[in-house]
Structure 1
Amino acid sequence: MKLRQSLGDEVTVWMDASPEAVWDLVSDVTRIGEFSPETFEAKWTRGSTGPEVGAFFAGHVKRNGVGPTYWSPCRVTACEEGKVFEFSVGTDAVTVNNWGYRLSPREGGTDVTEFFRLDGSLPTRLYWLVLGPLRARTNRSGMRTTLERMKAVVES
């Protein structure tokens, strides 16, 4: 299922591991620096200590792997152990985009889908119209890299 119409995209990689084993990787935001080519660290914030709906964390991002570098505030929006972990990126008042992982058991392993979707505001639609194809390509490549690195860890 492609999310291009809704200003987003997704990548799926099959992993030879249970959804529970994969869950431990996708829901532990403090490990994202091991996997992501852009987000090199993250920490729980505002008193949050682990994955649950409403928990806050911040991701330290190096845009396109080269900069600028900044902290992105995030809030967990969906958290169903072994199935889905999703979070919004933005301020308390404005969500810029949403990222997440869906886990589906298949053939003794797990299909792991990383996805993103942008909000549908006019400024975002205009941004996506102009820069969307380039950013979508970067995001797809980054999601594939992230998932392949997770696969290497969870299958080792």
Structure 2
Amino acid sequence: MSLLRAPYGEVSLTIAAPIEEVWSLVSDVTRIGEFSPETFEAEWTHGATGPAVGARFRGHVKRNGVGPIYWVPCQINVCEPQQHLEFSVGGKNAVNNWGYRLEEVPDGVRVTEYFRLSTALPLRLYWLLLGTLRGRTNERGMRTTLERMKQVAER
């Protein structure tokens, strides 16, 4: 892995539901506690009430499901309804970006959840040392999140 490239990972899953329904699950941050193994709740902040570029929210996180509990500020950077949602984590000094891409396919909607760490040197060094382990944890967490969304959407 190059130290110049941002560490990245993604997981895709097909959900047999209308794209509008899948979009409502990925774009309503207040529901993340139903799906994520690490972020057990989130709330809109600074007057935001729904997804839009610039909208801010905060997530209540328990790292790896066992670590310390803390709130983290987030901001939506990409909001293309029924196509793409991406948000940065960490406020002005964002440490990573998380997102969802949606694509209609014959048997439903292919949802891809992804993360991309900042290219700041400390984070690149962190990834060089612990990236394989953290990448696997992120992949498991993304797969769990998407599988839980699938269960709700396909009911």
Distance (whole Å) between structure 2 residues aligned to residue 59 and residue 129 of structure 1: 26
CA contact (8 A) 1:15 1:155 kept: yes
The letter for the 1-side match of 2:148 is R
Distance (whole Å) between structure 2 residues aligned to residue 14 and residue 25 of structure 1: 14
Deviation, 1:18, is 1.8
The letter for the 2-side match of 1:151 is K
Listed as ranges, the matches of 1:38-49 within 5 Å are 38-49=38-49
- Aligned partner of 2:37 in structure 1 is 37
Distance (whole Å) between structure 2 residues aligned to residue 6 and residue 91 of structure 1: 18
CA contact (8 A) 2:9 2:139 kept: yes
Deviation, 1:108, is 3.6
CA contact (8 A) 2:6 2:117 kept: yes
Gapped regions of structure 2 (runs ≥ 5): none
CA contact (8 A) 1:79 1:85 kept: yes
Distance (whole Å) between structure 1 residues aligned to residue 107 and residue 132 of structure 2: 35
SS of alignment partner, residue 95 of structure 2: strand
**Runs ≥4 in structure 1, deviation > 3 angstroms?**
none
Listed as ranges, the matches of 1:116-127 within 5 Å are 116-127=115-126
Listed as ranges, the matches of 1:3-18 within 5 Å are 6-18=6-18
RMSD across aligned C-alpha pairs, in angstroms?
0.8
- Aligned pair count reads 151
Distance (whole Å) between structure 2 residues aligned to residue 152 and residue 90 of structure 1: 30
CA contact (8 A) 2:73 2:90 kept: yes
Deviation, 1:19, is 1.5
Q: Identity over aligned residues, as a percent?
A: 64
TM-score under structure 1 length normalisation: 0.95
Distance (whole Å) between structure 1 residues aligned to residue 54 and residue 91 of structure 2: 13
